[in-house]
Structure formats: C-alpha cells, structure tokens
Structure 1
Amino acid sequence: MSLFKVKQWWSNTTKNTDNNEHCFSCMKVDKFNSHNDSDCILLGEGTLLKLFKPSLDQDGLLLEIELSDIILQIETGKFIGISGDREIIVLHPQSYVIYELHRKEGLTDAGEQNRITAVIKHAFKRLAYNMTVGPFGSSKARDLICVQSLDGTLSFFDQDTFLFMCIFNDILIPGPVAYVMSSDMFVICKSTWALEIYSYQQLRESSELSLRQNKTNIPQWTYNAGEEISAVQVIRTSSNFSSIIALGERHLYCFQDNGLMKALIRFDYTPICFHSYLIGWYYEPGARLLVMVASDDSKLYVYEGTKLLWACDLMMKAVSLSRCFINSLPGGVVTLYLDGKISVNYLGTEPDLNPSVNIVNEIVSPVEVQRELESVEEALKLIISDDKESISELPFIEKTISIKTTIGKPIENYNEDDILENDKNVQSMKCPLIITIICKEPKLIQNIQITYICSSPFIHSDNSKYIDDVNVTQIIETDILMSNDYDVSNTNIKILFTIIEHTGKIVILNRSIMLPLNLYCSVGEKNLENQIKLNVHVNETCLDLTNIFTDFTKEELSNFEAPVNNITFKYKTTNKTVTIYANEQEYIIESDDYPEISSVLDHLLNKLNEYYIQTNIGVHITVRPSKEFIIQMIHRFLKSIETHAKERIKLKKLQDELNILQRQFTAVQKRLLVQYGSLPPADCDPLEFLMKDTHQRIINIVHEIIHNRNVVCRAGNTLAAIGRLIISILRNTSTDTLKVVLIEEMLSLDLLHDDCQEWEEAVTKVSSFVTNKLFKNSEKDKEKLAPVTEQETLSHINLKRFLRKLKIILEKVFDEIKEDSTRENVVRTEELVEII
C-alpha cells in the first residue's frame, strides 16, 4: 500500500510586526526574461515586497524592498509595451505602481544584482479592493488595468491614463473580478451571490454617463450561486474556449466561458483557497484540468473534474495556492500559509485516500498483551523506587550550569496596569522571583528559555524569558501576584529551563519553589465556628510557631490577642481563616472548610522539615486525620467534583447556544445583503429587527459565558485544593509509595487550568485502571462501575458512576492506612507487655 508524500524543498519565515501580528500577505508566481530558467515568486507582506527564485538547496531571495504603502495585490504583465520583459504592478489602497525588474550579472554568483525601478505611479481617490489585468478590448500592444473599489466601482486605466468608470448599484460588498481573454469578457461576483459576465464593450458603454441616462445593462449570462463566491480563476482550456472556476462556501463551480456548466463539486469541508492548472497545452486534445483546494482543517485536495485524485496534510492553514517550475522540479506546489510562510513542495507517490481504516484481520495475542503490561508495570516500579544505585551520574549540562532560585519578600504593587478595579485588595501585593544562572562554559550553550508555571489565583508578570547570549552569570527577575479571589490550591511555582547546547541537543531542567505565606495570607482573628480539625504529630516537642512562620515578623504575629502558640491566618482571596496551635507533640489545624487547610498544611510541613534539617535533628512527622475528618473530606471532594461538572455542563450549553446564534446572525446578514442588492430593494425591516435582536442576544450570552467560565475556574480551584489535601495526607500517612503515586497521577490536578477544565474526562480513564489493578473487585462491581460508552463523561449516569468509583478508591486507600496503623500499635503493645 503506497502512501502519499509531500516533500518540502524550502521555506521562508516572515518577520513579525511590532505588535507580534502578521501583516496581510499576497503572492504571485510568474517568469521573467531576466530569469528565464526558473519561475520567480513575488511576496507582498504589509509594506514589504520580496522576490524569490527558489532552488533545491536555498530559498533564493533576490530582492527585498520596503514600499511606502500597504500592498493589496501583485500582478504581472506588459503594461508599457516598449519593454520586452514583463513588468510588476503593485496595488495600494489609493494608488498602483508599475515596476521594472533589472538584473545585472557579476563575475560570480555572489556579484549578481537585482533591483526594481518604478516607471509609472498613478493615484486615485476611491479606496481600492482588488484588480485584474489583461489585453482588454483585444489590445495587442499592452495590458490594461481594471481596479475595483470598495463600493464595487470598476475603474479602467491604460498605464497612468484613466479610461472610464463603471458603477453597479447592486454591489454592497466587493467580490472577485476576473478577465476572460479568449472572449474579452469580465466575471463579476456580486453581493447578491450571483456571477454576472459582461463583455468589455458592454462595460465601456455602461460608463458613468450612460448610467445617468438610466440605461440598463444586461449581462451576457448570469448564474445565481446562492452562496458567497470567495475566489474566481480563468484558465484557457482549448483553442476556442476558456474555463471559469469559482469557489463558494461549500461548492466549486466550473463553467465554460459561454455559460455552460462543466462540473460542480460539493465539499464536506470548508474551503479557503484554490488554484487550477493544466497538464499539457490547451491546444492539445489530451490536456487535463486539475484543481487544488486548501481546506480550513489544513488539508490539500486535488480534483480532476469531480474526481478526487490526491489528499494530504499541510503544515497549517493556507491562504493562497499556486504552481511553479523551478530547476530540477517541473511542477511544484507553492503554498502561502496563514503566518506568512511560503513553501514549495512536490507530490509524491500514489496516495492512500483512506489511511485511517484499521486492519480487522490482524490477530492480537492476549498473552503478549499481558506480558507487555507486566513489563510496563515493572518499569514503573523501578522508576518510582528510591533505589539510589539506579540513579546515574548527573548529565554534562547540570555540571556546566548552576541554577539558584530565590523568592523575595512581598512588596506593594504600584503597577496600576496589573490591578483590576474589582481586585484591588487581592492584587495589592507582588512577590519577586529571582533566578541566578551560573554557566562555567557559556560557549557550549546556544540559548536558554525559562518558563514559569503557576496555578490560579497566582499569575506571573512574564510568561517566559529567552536568553540568547549566555554569560557566565545571568540574573533574571519576575514578579508573582494574585489575579482573582479563587481558593488557593497550589503555592508552588514550577520553573522549566529549556537549554540548547552548541551541538543542538535540547535538555530540560526544572526547579520548584514555594511562595511565602504572607503573599496570600494575613494574620487575623480566630473564627470560633471552625469545627474541622487536623492533627500533625511529631516525635519532638512542638516548636514556637513564631520560629516556624518566619514570613511574618513577631510584631505582626502578636498584633491579635491569642493564647500561647496560637496563630490565625486569613486568606486574602476568600477572607476565610485557618487557626494553628501547638500542644506538646502535636500541631492542630482548625478551619471551617477543607480547601483552606491544604496550603497551610503544605507550608507547615515544609517549614518543619527545613527547620529540623538545618538543626540536624532526626524527626518523624505524621499527619493523623480522624475517621470523621476522612469521611467528611472525601464527601466534600466528591461534592466539589459534582459542582465543577455541573458548571461545565452549563458552560457547554451556553457555548452551543452562542454557536447557533452566530450561524443565525450570519444567515440573516447574508439574506439582508441580498435584499439590499435586489432591484428594487425589498422590505428589509423584519430582517433588520431580527439581526439587531440576534446581535443583542449574542452580547448577553457572551457576558453569561464569561461569568460562567469564572464560576467553572473557581470550582476547579476548590476541587484542586481538596485534592492536594488528600494527596498530602496520603504522603505523610501511607507506607505504600507506589499506591500513593498512582493515586496522585490518577487525580492529575495539574490538568486544571483557567483555559482547560476537562478534568473529569482524563481522570475517568485512569480511575478504571486503578480500580482494576489496585483493588480486588468482583465482576459485578466492575460492571456497575464501568462507564456508559455511548454517553459523554459529564452525562448524569457516567458522572454518577465516576463519583462512586472515586469514593470506593479513596475509602479503600484510607482504610488500608488505618489497618496498618492499628497493626503497628498492637505489635508495640505486645512488646511492652513482654518487657514488663
């Protein structure tokens, strides 16, 4: 079975504008006498005009010049008549300029010079939309120019001389215009979704003076497509006739220039652009007309008549297609992409137009599958195990580069651009994050990219930093601040370092640092309604809390009257409180809800470990949740998942409604254009009322979507906070490291971002593996917990089964922890009795 291949010979990436957006781009492929051995490609990007002559090993940039105005379109032709070579005409919004291309050969290839000279420049008052050129009126001396304005007016020019103007009253929005040289006619696409064909003589007679005399102009022939025509191309296909190819929203039309329809193709995709070409000469009886079409999903299709010959993927969305002939490549495909990149490709072997079909006759051995699964599980255990012998030496890059990350004290945020009106209290503080990179041998490093990853409500002032010239010492600083009033779920900032060595090898290092507590908390008064308690046991006497929470000064901690070794923190985002007090060998955390405990517990455990490591005291820290605490925590976690899923369902309904309203608005708008353009104009009041009403409904539902998206993100943060609390407790209570890691990977709380909240879909797949492998369930239980594949994950049945499955998993994990702790206590009691 042969596959379809696309080989890329060369590409040219355009430069960005100051606001990092790509300018409007247009392309023209033609051959010049000065470069007759290969086609040249003209590219207009913003005000920049480029000329390429590609070859197999290089892009062949011949010329690059900055023009004085935006380039709308580029065409070629013989506009002067006295020159033997073709000239270049560039259309600007209010003028066009004709250039001559000059080539001066040097003694070597590097000495060749190419330049363009402006020979004619003509300005006009009406804003231009597009143009078409050709020997209008059977002119044999030179090509004439037809410019269509934004109001649909056609203006005809000969060099810099204005000839006449043709006005159409039924054109509200300009469309494509093409010239048929074989019959001296023009194809005009009107806003009434109709193609009308006029002869040059008709247009000349229906000038502005004729229209004032109320003379009607009847086209040679017309065709009502019933949809917007986005592009038209005329190609000579025989000695007597030319073909007119028009691209609509869902169809491709092919006419003979006398109005006879030759082919009609209906697409099951959205086309963007097309290009037609002949294989062979038009006067040969075996000449074949092929049409290339680029789709909205970045694919390329090649048709002959109504038959699909080729299909392949493109790098990205194409905005223009053409065909070129270069050295050693007769018949390349030129593609201009959305980002301004041009590529020249060729078509390979015979394609497989249905490559996604699975081979149903392939036999898979269950024994082989089971053996592969067991090998994967063994490899996973080796990765998770703490066997130091399996740890290899540090790579060369870690020996060359030393990275140090430090977090500064929170300071006042004086940047008004970062502070929103509704979140002044939340965003009043920012925290500097400083990275120091020391490179022993900078010459061995090409560049370093630093990427910051943090969870809401925290944001960073810079998404990433790029270091191109690596020095011995680099100091990079960014700011961390809060952007909203969500629950604090993760206070760790993850930093990725993407390092490219001089050999081109890419190495990725990561670091993590915890934010200071006083960035998102302040000292407050104790809430007497706090009923949730979590105990943290240590085998040493409890420390003074002022020595643990060093982010605050002792004066700040003593502002509120409180018992000894008792501190209450208040979250700046939610105004909820958490109280911590020490009692002999136990730290007790009290709160009104579970999300508030998560961040403070992580901070407390981290500070205790740092203190005892610095003092070289061996200590064993154990989190001891009560049975009631575990039951209520699991219940609260499942309720947060249910809330998150229900809000996501509401958001999806709103988005579906918005899509319907958008299609309705587009349909009404198009229908209204047809009504406006009809002669005489029909009654447009009902359609205008419907369009205004639809527009207002779109505005209202967009506001609802924005509000509901914030609600979904808030629910996601609450879910993540409780989930991290569960993982933190498991880490400090369970002795089965593999099981804890699998539970952590199953929950995958890092998947919850502001832009992506599809957490339930991912966890559903993993939870099935965990229930089947970690726990012994009967076949009946597995059948009850299996998802309904015909329905979505957020459907009522599947969501209910998903919550039941998570409840079983978490309850069994915590039950095993209780059994282990009870077994240890029994053994210690027996040993104590024997000693007595």
Structure 2
Amino acid sequence: MSLFKVKQWWSNTTNTENYKDRQNFSCMKVDKFSSHNDSDCILLGEGNLLQLFKPSLGQDALLLETELSDIILQIETGKFIGLSGDREIIVLHSQSYVIYELHRKEGLTDAGEQNNMTAVIKHAFKRRACNLTVGPFGSSKARDLICVQSLDGTFSFFDQDTFLFMCIFNDILIPGPVAYVMSSDMFVICKSTWALEIYSYQQLRESSELSLRQNKANIPQWSYNAGEEISAVQVVRTSSNFSSIIALGERHLYCFQDNGLMKELIRFDYTPICFHSYLIGWYYEPGARLLVMVASDDSKLYIYEGTKLLWACDLMIKAVSLCRCFINSLPGGVVTLSRDGVISVNYLGTEPNLNPNVNIVNEIVSPVEVQRELESVEEALKLIISDDKESVEDVSYIEKTISIKTDMGKPIENYYENNRYESDKSLQLIKCPLIITLICKEPELIQNIQVTYICSSPFIVSDNGKYIDDVNVTQIIKTDILMSNNYDLSNTNIKILFTVIDRTGKIIIINRSIMLPLKFYCSVGELNLENQIKLNIHVNEACLDLRNIFTDVTKEELSNFEDTVNNITFKYKTTDTTVTVSSNDQEYSIESVDFPEISPMLDHFLNKLNDYYIQTNIGVRITVKPSKEFISQMIHRFLKSIETHSKERMKLKKIQDELDVLQRQFTAVQKRLLVQYGSLPPAHCDTLEFLMKDTHQRIINIVYEIIQNRNVVCRAGNTLAAVGRLIICVLRNTSTDMLKVVLIEEMLSLDLLHDDCQEWEEAISKVSSFVCNKLFKNSEKDKEKLTPVTEQDTLSHINLKRLLKQLKIILEKVFDEINEGTQGNVRTEELVEII
C-alpha cells in the first residue's frame, strides 16, 4: 500500500462567530453554473451567512457573500424554473426555503465583474424542516421538484412555491438522510429503526395524508436492516440501466444497486465522519470506475474502489464534508470543509513530502536574486527597528501624559455579601480593596483605556477588567481582591495592564505591579517547634526590629505573643500552615515545615527590607545564604511536586476518558430505545430503560468526581508554582550570572499554571531539553539519554522520567556554580517513586 500526502492548493477561512455555529450549521455544495462554466463553484452556508467561492490561481476566490435572515440548514442546486437556462440555488431554512438565481455581470472598467444573487421564489411552511432532496420526481422533464423532510418525519413535496402532497411515516422518530434515485424514480429513506427503505415516487404520492386515513400501509420496494445508524446516503449513476446507492454507517460502508442487490460491504477499523463517491468516466462506458472517498476522525482520507483500498492520505484536518471539484487549473480536486470553518482544495500528490508546509523548489536560483532578496529583507528590518524606536518614544510620551498611582487598602474581614464563594465555609470572608488613580494631563489625546488585572490562585479579582471610553482628567478605579480556595500561595503580587489607545489609533501597553498586604493572607500565630527548613538572609548592618519591617501587623496583634521583637510567627489563612521569621545580630532566618510556605514570605520580606533601607537612605547589602542541605531538599521538593502534579493530571485524564465512554454508551442506549419505541408493536424496553438510568447516574457521579480531581490538580499546580518561585527567588538573590537566571525563569514559565490550564509539563518539556543541551556542555550520549520520546505523551512513564532528570541536572549545575568555592557539589536525593 502506498501512502500519499495531500498537498494543499487553495484554502479559505470563513468568517464565523463561534465554534458551535460552525459545527452545527455548516453545509457545502459544489456545482457548476452557466455563468461560470470554466470552473466549479463552491457554495458554503455557515449560520446565516452564504458564501460563493471560485478558487483560481492569482485571483480572489470569494465571488459573493450575503447574510440571510435565518439559519441555513442545507444548500442544493437544480433547475427549479423551467424558463431559466442556468441552475438555481435553493437554500433550506427551518420553516422556509428560498430559490435564488446567480447573475454575473462583466466589468467594463478596472473594477472587475460583479456577482449577485436574486431571490425568485420564497415559500414558507409550518413544520420545522430537517433536510431536503431535489430532482425530476415522477419523470418530470420541465424542472426539478422539491422534497422537504420535517423533524417529525413528514415528507412534503413542492413544485416551485406550490404544495403538492404530504406523506407521513409513523415509524420515523428522528429524521435521517434521504436521497433520490433518478434512474428508477425512487427515494432512499433512512429510518430511525436503522433500516434503509426504498419507495417509488408513485407510492409516496398514493400514500398521502388522505390515503393514511384509510389505514393503507406503506410497503417499500425493498429494504435493508443495517443494524446501525446511517449518517449519509449518496446515489451515483453507474450504468445505463442502474444506479448505485452508497450509505455510510457508524462502522460500515454499504453499496447497493437500485434494485436491492448488495454490491459491496466494507467494515472500517476506524470511525468515519463523512464520505463522497464519484465516477471516473461516463456511466454508459463499460470501463467506468466507482470510487469512494472516506474521511476519518483521525484526520485521514481513504479512497476505495469496491472493497479495495487504493490510497490513504493525511488530511491534517478533521473534515466534516467532502466533495470533488473541477477547476480550470486543477482537473480533479478534493474539497474539504474542516470543523473550524476552513475550505481547502487539495490534490493527491505522488511525490512523498515529509514537510507539507514547504513548497518544493525545482528551479535554479540566481545568486544575484538571492542578494537582492537579502537586501530587501535588511531594509524591512531597518523599518521595523525604526518603528520600535517610535513605539518606545510613544510609550514614554504616554507615560508622561498619564500618571498612574496604585494603592492597596486595608483588608476587610468578616464582611457579608452575596457572592459565589460564600458557600465555602473553610475560607474566612475577607477582601482587600485595590484603588487605582489615573491622572491624565491631556485627556483629548487618549481615545480609551482598558485596565486588566492578572493574579494567581487563590486570589481572584471581583472585576476582571475595566474599560474607560471617556477619559477624564482624574479617574478613580476601585476593585476588590478576594480569596477563592485553600491552595498554597504561589504569587502575592497583582499585575495590572493598562492598554491605552491614543487618537491616532496606536496601542501602548503600560505595566504596573503591586504587592498584597501581609495581613490579607496572614495572621500572627503560635511558634511551631517542628520547623525543619531554615533559610538564612545576611545583611552587613545590625538586624532591625521585626515590627519595623512588618508594618502591616499592629501592636495589639503582637501583644498576645512573646518575643515578637526577634521572632514572629505567621499563619496562612488559606492552608493554616505557619512560617517563622527571626533575627539574630546580622542575620535573619525564615523557618517552616515545608518549602511552599517559605516562598511568599521570602518575597514579601525582601521587598519590605529593601523599602525600609531605601526610605532611610542607608546603603546595605542583602545576601541570601541557602545551605547545601536546603538547596538539595528544595530541588528534591520541586521534582516531587512535578511528579505529584503529573500523577493527578493522569488520574483526571483517566476519569475524563471514562466519562467519554459513558457518554457514548448513553447515546447508544438512547438509539436502541428509539428503535424499540418505533417498532410496531413496541418491544419490551424495561432493561434498556434501566441501563439508561444507570448510565445517567454514573455520568452524574463521574462528573462530580472530575470536579473534585480538577481541584486536586489545581492545588498540586499551586504547590509546584510556589516551590518553583522559591527557586527563582533564591537564584535571583545568589547567582551572579543573571542571564542564566532569566533563562531558567523563562524555561519554568510558572505563569502558565492557571485554574483552567494545567498543561505545564507539555510546555516546558521541549524548552528544558534545549536549555540542558545548549546552556550546559553535555556529551552526545547524555543528550541521547535525555531526549524525550516524541512518539509518546509527555506524561508517559519514560518522558516524565527524562523530564525530571533534565530539570534535576539544570538546577544542580546552576547551584553548583553558586557554591563553586565550597567543598563538594549539591546533589539532590534520588526520587523514590517515578510514575
């Protein structure tokens, strides 16, 4: 079997509002019109937007775009008006259909040609429509008739805007695909009982609503029980006497002659999404070949002739619709519509291409042309650099025009108000106001300002952002910071982004950061005698009174505790854990039971200490002095936090996969119940009803379990971020090579850990490999050992183990350089357990 890559020749991204609309209301039709007879045209309906494309090299593919008044359910083409020489377009809406004529007017100037659609027939009906099929029913030679299937399974037949008759089937609970066989004047109807039934047009006309009142049953010409849901049906004329009926099921592809004889049956080992069948040659020729294209859910395209697989291709996208087109520059193309609303015209290439995004160059390029292109690139770079200088000048000008002052108010405890976090009894009701004062000297130069707050869990902002359209001279913005859960504190700083748009339309972004008050998330507590972790901070001056450093804490709060001059213990309000700050001569120390508690306190203590000496104009040197044991335990704790976070993520993924299985099981039971309900007489359904109720209850239980495990993953992510920020803070205050510190900070990317996004391991796996191989000199053998297995998931046993080894090597070597003058190297404990 040969494997071929699908090479993209043309693509277009449609304008859609959201993903759900694209997925639920997308339909495509490819046909040729007399006004554009040199190439096929592509009609696309998305939501209430109708677009007409004509792909061609060097020209704009979009010919027409119009917004209709209702959602488009289906688009078909045909000759619905007898006097018209061109094919018309019929658009099906929920309770009406409209027939349009396509007109093309050649341009007399450089403006080019004009295309427009004119509605010639509009017809409304009371029943809500599901789909339609068109054709010369009853051997009509003048024009095509219209058959609309409603949601209740009723078939209504129309001639232009005239209602002909209605046919009702009592065993259709959910409408399915319908196709018309022109050679034998019959209809293929897929019922909710998983059966294909074929009726002639004469039968349907005779079994109208009046005939049903006389208790006349509809007896099909022939039928076939597929035993699975049929998702699509297509009819292709394959000979002078017969047509082929191709039906796509959940796991099979069926091919019948219109007399009921089965020609082929293909069982798939994948899940098909859509298909398209076509004939190579003319149907009256003996050598005509029927080919079927099938798109799978794993983004592949399979082409069959009979039961033989001819080609298998990578589509790179999940196609929801397939078709074949003939374009003047491409005799046979494959048109695909993806889930995200992208139409692509492709062709099957016979040359293997490992990188489909790179064009194959066969021409010999002149060195003179290469030099000319390099000079043009240099000129473009100079323009970019000059634009950057202008942007820097704009930022400085805006910062001079706008004065920004941020201030944190006093925390308010035991307040009462209706909020979504009030039900969490484990959290103390406390909030801290954040006040921003904007003073604009020249407000007429500013168009608008948008304020965005960024904070890390467990902190949240009552208002995510503020938009100021009318900028005044003085603007005061107030919001509240709250605590939402009982996670470890990873970052106690609030980042504020000011997006300023001036009158010329230029966008300038100004960053500000403010530290939360210590009293907001801490209270004074009892000394914990079990503290085993200690970090020393040395200064070249005598230690200060701790009450002068922690100004947020009042004397009344310290009066209940002894020795608060040289020793203060703080208790975190979210986790009830403690951290102790003590002073002795020229050295401070921070002690705790675990490392996540030290991280926010170290950051707050260093900021407060620097602020005090800056205000008093005293020059002092502050040095963080971690011991070897502290460094080894800190690295070991960081790697264990990564391991714990990965294990919880794997548990969550396993539960989510179980939910997917239960959802498919619930859908399968529902379908089977519909078949039982639709049978005459109705079959015994107690067992299926019990199974459906049991599956529904299991889905409810597993959803609650997913919510709980998601909270566990987020809590593990906060612990990981807290230990990671401690490592960065220690490196920033101990290392002399700031470039490596910045690289490691960017490599860890701890800001990626949010409540909704926990894919941290995937983000840093590639970066850690690059840093480990480029920043430090490793042998080729070591590089090979540390290379992730790309065929497996990042959380797999092998890849996770190698990621931990990479991070361990990087951190050890960085701290080794810090402790270069001491004896021995810093070594972390070996991980006892690896997933």
| TM-score bracket for this pair, using the shorter chain length | 0.7 to 0.9
Matched, 1:122 2:124: yes
Separation in 2 of the partners of 1:236 and 1:449?
A: 62
What runs of 5+ residues in structure 2 fail to find an aligned partner? 357-386, 470-474, 825-835
Tell me what 1:189 maps to: 190
Following superposition, the deviation at residue 225 of structure 1 comes to 2.4
Q: Retained in 2: the 8 A contact 1:12–1:59?
A: no
Matched, 1:243 2:212: no
Matched, 1:345 2:345: yes
* 2:66 aligned counterpart, secondary structure: strand
Separation in 1 of the partners of 2:353 and 2:521?
A: 60
* 1:85 aligned counterpart, secondary structure: coil
Counterpart residue identity of residue 284, structure 1: E
Residues 755-797 of structure 1: per-residue CA shift (max 9 Å, x gap) = 454667888999999999999999xx99999999999987899
Q: Retained in 1: the 8 A contact 2:433–2:478?
A: no
- When the two structures are superposed, what TM-score results if normalisation uses the length of structure 1? 0.76
Tell me what 2:621 maps to: 620
Separation in 2 of the partners of 1:140 and 1:449?
A: 65
Residues 250-309 of structure 1: per-residue CA shift (max 9 Å, x gap) = 333232222333333433432222222333333334433333333323444444443333
Following superposition, the deviation at residue 242 of structure 1 comes to 1.7
Q: Retained in 2: the 8 A contact 1:99–1:120?
A: no
1:407-806 mapped onto 2 (5 Å cutoff):
407-409=406-408, 421-422=423-424, 425=428, 428-429=431-432, 431=434, 454-459=455-460, 482-491=483-492, 513=513, 515-518=515-518, 520-527=520-527, 531=531, 533-543=534-544, 545=546, 548=549, 552=552, 563-564=564-565, 569-609=570-610, 612=613, 618-625=619-626, 640=641, 643-733=644-734, 749=750, 752-757=753-758
Counterpart residue identity of residue 31, structure 2: D
Separation in 1 of the partners of 2:408 and 2:520?
A: 12
Aligned CA distance change for structure 1 residues 101 and 57 (closer, same or farther; 3 Å)? closer
Following superposition, the deviation at residue 595 of structure 1 comes to 1.5
Aligned CA distance change for structure 1 residues 432 and 678 (closer, same or farther; 3 Å)? farther
* 2:424 aligned counterpart, secondary structure: helix
* 1:9 aligned counterpart, secondary structure: strand
What is the aligned residue count?
A: 778
Separation in 2 of the partners of 1:70 and 1:664?
A: 31
Tell me what 1:164 maps to: 165
Aligned CA distance change for structure 1 residues 415 and 340 (closer, same or farther; 3 Å)? farther
Separation in 2 of the partners of 1:317 and 1:437?
A: 51
Matched, 1:58 2:60: yes
* 1:239 aligned counterpart, secondary structure: coil
Counterpart residue identity of residue 188, structure 1: I
Tell me what 1:84 maps to: 85
Separation in 2 of the partners of 1:608 and 1:313?
A: 60
Residues 331-354 of structure 1: per-residue CA shift (max 9 Å, x gap) = 44433332334x352415315499
Tell me what 2:363 maps to: none
Separation in 2 of the partners of 1:54 and 1:560?
A: 80
Which range moves more in the overlay, 705-714 or 506-515? Answer: 506-515
Residues 788-832 of structure 1: per-residue CA shift (max 9 Å, x gap) = 999998789998999899889978987886783579xxxxxxxxx
* 2:541 aligned counterpart, secondary structure: coil
Tell me what 1:820 maps to: 821
Structural RMSD (CA): 5.4
Separation in 2 of the partners of 1:485 and 1:48?
A: 48
Counterpart residue identity of residue 604, structure 1: F
Aligned CA distance change for structure 1 residues 797 and 7 (closer, same or farther; 3 Å)? closer
Separation in 2 of the partners of 1:482 and 1:20?
A: 36
Separation in 2 of the partners of 1:318 and 1:70?
A: 21
The percent of aligned pairs where both chains have the same amino acid is: 71
1:28-177 mapped onto 2 (5 Å cutoff):
28-55=29-56, 56-67=58-69, 69-103=70-104, 107-108=108-109, 109-110=111-112, 112=114, 114-124=116-126, 126-177=127-178
Q: Retained in 2: the 8 A contact 1:522–1:572?
A: yes
Residues 740-762 of structure 1: per-residue CA shift (max 9 Å, x gap) = 77876886655644345466788
Aligned CA distance change for structure 1 residues 689 and 649 (closer, same or farther; 3 Å)? same
Counterpart residue identity of residue 191, structure 2: K
Separation in 1 of the partners of 2:351 and 2:499?
A: 38
Separation in 2 of the partners of 1:749 and 1:170?
A: 58
Q: Retained in 1: the 8 A contact 2:522–2:573?
A: yes
* 1:604 aligned counterpart, secondary structure: helix
Q: Retained in 2: the 8 A contact 1:426–1:484?
A: no
Separation in 2 of the partners of 1:135 and 1:549?
A: 88
Counterpart residue identity of residue 313, structure 2: A
Q: Retained in 2: the 8 A contact 1:5–1:351?
A: no
Q: Retained in 2: the 8 A contact 1:397–1:507?
A: no
Residues 683-738 of structure 1: per-residue CA shift (max 9 Å, x gap) = 11001101110110111011011101101221221233234324433544466778
Separation in 1 of the partners of 2:732 and 2:717?
A: 22
Equivalent of residue 310 in structure 2, options 298, 308, 321 = 308
Q: Retained in 2: the 8 A contact 1:2–1:351?
A: no
- When the two structures are superposed, what TM-score results if normalisation uses the length of structure 2? 0.76
Residues 109-148 of structure 1: per-residue CA shift (max 9 Å, x gap) = 5574624134341323x22111111111111122221111
Tell me what 1:334 maps to: 335
Q: Retained in 1: the 8 A contact 2:456–2:490?
A: yes
Q: Retained in 2: the 8 A contact 1:101–1:117?
A: no
Following superposition, the deviation at residue 611 of structure 1 comes to 5.3
* 1:428 aligned counterpart, secondary structure: strand
Separation in 1 of the partners of 2:395 and 2:775?
A: 41
* 1:490 aligned counterpart, secondary structure: coil
Tell me what 2:232 maps to: 231
Residues 569-609 of structure 1: per-residue CA shift (max 9 Å, x gap) = 44343344444344442223344543221111022223434
Q: Retained in 2: the 8 A contact 1:645–1:794?
A: yes
Separation in 2 of the partners of 1:180 and 1:417?
A: 62
Aligned CA distance change for structure 1 residues 45 and 519 (closer, same or farther; 3 Å)? farther
Q: Retained in 2: the 8 A contact 1:431–1:481?
A: no
Separation in 2 of the partners of 1:290 and 1:775?
A: 57
